[in-house]
Structure 1
Amino acid sequence: AHFVVGRYVLNSAVAQGIPTLATNHFMPENLFSHAHVPAFLQGLARTWAYRDLARVFGRADIVTAPTPRAVQLLHDSGFPERALPVSCGIDISRYQREVTHNDRPTALFVGRLDEEKRVDEFLRALARVPAAVGEIVGDGTCRAEWEKLAHDLNITDRVRFHGFVSEDELLDAYARCDLFVMPGVAELQSLATMEAMAAGKPVIAANAMALPHLVHSGRNGWLFEPGDVNQLTQRLHTLVHDAPLRARMGAASSEIISHHALATTLERFEELYARAMGRTAPVVALAA
């Protein structure tokens, strides 16, 4: 992030004449719940944070963000229109494993259990689809609240909160699930969604921020409007009850994520490093 380490490193590099490349994965919304910023101050805090980011990253020779939407967000927030999209990339082969599935279709969420992830919407939809079970991997400030919600919805026998898990357990969770749900509204790319796609899973995601770059509605899953639990329930119900559709959409996820292979991302960054140093290198196509 640009607050401490990034600020110091960039200032030091510029002072020494060292070429620099900065990558932004910061969104103020991801900090509001941790910092307990009151709602009435969040607009002001967001403006200040982006202005500060522009001051710091403005000193870098090259600036990237993980998706075209993330780049547009930087530009809309006042950063000069020179940022470039470069996918985070993913080692796809790591997520391709076989495990025994649950007895009933399983919908998985992976991520921080914080306000902007909106896991409560997932739980409310799951309560209306009795044929499905849910698995939730991760921890955060809202875990206790959402565990209570699961109890109030009378679905504790169909949803499991795993908390933090080992890397091997995470890979098993992706392999074991039948579909992935990402209701978050502050995703600059969503590594968890990419990981589920690498595992060949269909995705139901909020139509927010950069998620539409990964989820092509009707092809490898569906988008739903944030807050529309009825729409999320309909999409969940359809996938839970249609195994052939899950297979087709899962295959589409595998095809889409192939354009985000880690090797492509590394090649792209090498080209940008060379550009920053005034050298030439083969240009690699950007992932959308």
Structure 2
Amino acid sequence: MTDGTTAHSDENPADGSSAASAARRPLRILIGADTFPPDINGSATFARQLAAGLAGRGHDVEVVAPSPDNRWGVRREEHGGVTLRVHRLLSWRWLPHPWLRFALPWRIKANARRIIAQFHPDVVHFQSHIVVGQGLAPAAKERGIRLVGTNHTMPENITQHVQILPPPALRWLVKQQWASAAKWFGMADAVTAPTQRSADYFDKNTGLKNTIAISNGISLEKYTADLGPRDENLIVFLGRLDDEKNIDELVRAAARLDPALEAKVVIMGHGDQKTKLEHLIQELGLQDRVRLAGKVSYDELRQTLTRAKVFAMPSVAELQSITTLEAMASGQPIVAANAMALPHLVEEGVNGYLFEPGDIDGFAQRLTDVLTAPEEKLRAMREASLRLVAVHDVEHTLDIFEALYRGEPLPPAPEPRTA
């Protein structure tokens, strides 16, 4: 097996000088994903950001992903300001889901071998074991190519899209998915997850060991923080309107806030829970206080995050929560569910508060704690979010993956930044 430390090259320096020099040559990197833009979710966002960031550093990066339509083949696509070669595979929509598509499982191994034979990558990095990883992992191992896998999936989340199955069948499905993850990620030279909690959770359920916690990262410089006073009590949520996000708890909590606060809630994002949320908002008489903004422009997203007074994240299934990182980079205090990876982002009373999932009164109280805090306390919380999010700078994430691809020691975390 190759050690992943040198780029594909026909050059053979006559003086043999330099393994170190060879190790710094650009790499040929193949990234495989079961979901990739135009899909909108954390895994797709990470895969795009990783591919574009690495290409921006001079590496030769290609992507394997399902076709979002009925056309397949190699496309040149713009992602993150760079042009990438994307191998779009013939895909079918997962019928219980409104937009999710998967490449055809019975063709994935042949497609993976063909693409790897054409591209000759130094490293293969797969983002999911569900379909694409099942082709790329064995194909890379057959050729002795360094293999890295990143898990973004909780099999438990899959069950929300197959609720027609009885509970025993759902439990069996979750068990089978964890076993599948163990098989395919077990082939990798290195396995990563976005946070230490998600890494520990993955190891516990697969039986694997030493999964490395590497933040998905965000481009901190793209977000603007306003540390000054606000002229309205604006609560913001950003993310998919999916069942595991528990957005109904935010709506119910908003109904229990003191009317004197005149709090407003803006929910940015779209998903299959939109109709249910619309009905709940109407049922609770919150039409003038809670707005479903849908999919918004990037400019509107950033502006809303900047002017909000608090960011709310009631989800119980976050392996990291890129949207919470975006809010922190915008200087927002965070009120989040005490579940999965969110406690890694919230220091109680420092940059926000946690509440127990399902505790609507507790959720409302924590939102109230932020909305009524003295301005000095609010400024300290905003500064704390900016300081805590520094370790999630995407440039550091790219540094880590470059080292991991080359089999080098991983770089230390950056120094916390100040406001």
- Which TM-score band applies after superposition, normalised by the shorter structure? over 0.9
CA displacement, residues 190-233 of structure 1 (integer Å, 9 cap, x when unaligned): 00100000000000000000100001111100000000011111
- Cα distance, 1:118 vs. partner? 0.6
Structure 1 residues 173, 29: CA separation in 2 closer, same or farther (over 3 Å shift)?
farther
Label 1:28 to 1:37 Cα distance change in 2 as closer, same or farther (>3 A): farther
Choose which of 228, 236, 239 in structure 1 pairs with 2:367. 236
Q: Does 1:84 align with 2:215?
A: no
Which whole-Å CA distance do the structure 2 matches of 1:256 and 1:7 have between them?
Answer: 36
- Maintained 8 Å contact 2:232/2:309: no
| Separation (CA, whole Å) in 2 of partners of 1:108 and 1:159 | 10
| Identity within the alignment, % | 40
Q: Secondary structure at the match of 2:206?
A: coil
Q: Pick from 7, 16, 26: which aligns with 2:143?
A: 16
Selected match of 2:183 from 48, 55, 68: 55
- The letter for the 2-side match of 1:20 is L
Residues in 1 aligned to 2:340 and 2:275: alpha-carbon distance in whole angstroms? 27
Tell me, yes or no, if the aligned pair for 1:109 and 1:135 is still in contact at 8 Å. Answer: yes
Partner-residue secondary structure (3-state), 2:146: coil
CA RMSD in angstroms comes to 2.1
2:292 to 161, 181, 186: 161
Matched AA of 2:279: K
- Counterpart for residue 270 of structure 2: 139
Residue identity matched to 1:233: A
What secondary structure, in the 3-state scheme, does the structure 1 residue paired with 2:240 have? Answer: coil
User: What residue is the counterpart of 1:180 in the other structure?
Assistant: 311
Pick one of 392, 406, 412 that aligns with 1:260: 392
| Higher normalized strand content (fraction of residues) | 2
**Deviation of residue 29 (structure 1)?**
3.0
| Range with bigger deviation, 223-232 or 233-242 | 233-242
Q: TM-score, normalised by structure 1?
A: 0.92
Helix, strand or coil at the partner of 1:255: helix
In 2, distance between residues paired with 1:72 and 1:286?
A: 23
SS at 2:129's partner residue? coil
Q: Which amino acid aligns with 1:108?
A: V
1:38 deviation in Å? 4.0
Provide the residue aligned with 1:6 in structure 2: 133
Deviations 1:232-264 (A, max 9, x none): 111111211225232221111100001111111
Unmatched tracts of structure 2, length 5 or more: 1-127
Going from structure 1 to structure 2, the CA distance change for 1:166 and 1:154 (only over 3 Å counts) comes to same
1:95 counterpart = 2:223? yes
Cα distance in 1, alignment partners of residues 164 and 315 from structure 2: 19
What SS class does the counterpart of residue 323 from structure 2 fall into? helix
Residues in 2 aligned to 1:102 and 1:160: alpha-carbon distance in whole angstroms: 19
What's 1:44 paired with?
Answer: 172
TM-aligned CA deviation for residue 37 of structure 1? 5.5
Q: Distance in 1 between matches of 2:405 and 2:358?
A: 41
The runs of at least 4 aligned residues of structure 1 exceeding 3 Å deviation read 35-39, 100-103, 280-283
How many pairs does the alignment contain?
A: 283
Does the CA-based 8 Å contact 1:271-1:284 persist in structure 2? no
Change (3 A) 1:37 1:219: farther
Name which structure has the greater RCO, CA cutoff 8 Å, separation 6+. Answer: 1
- 1:135-177 per-residue CA deviation (whole Å, 9 max, x = no partner) reads 0011111111111111111111011101111222211221121
Give the structure-2-normalised TM-score. Answer: 0.64
More helix by percentage: 1
Deviation readout 1:30-53 (Å, 9 max, x if unpaired): 322233364613322211111101
Match of 1:222 in 2: 353
Shift in CA distance, 145/39, structure 1 to aligned 2, threshold 3 Å: farther
2:412 corresponds to 1:273: no
1:59 and 1:92 map into 2 onto residues whose CA distance is: 34
User: 1:106 is matched with which residue?
Assistant: 234
Secondary structure, aligned partner of 1:77: helix
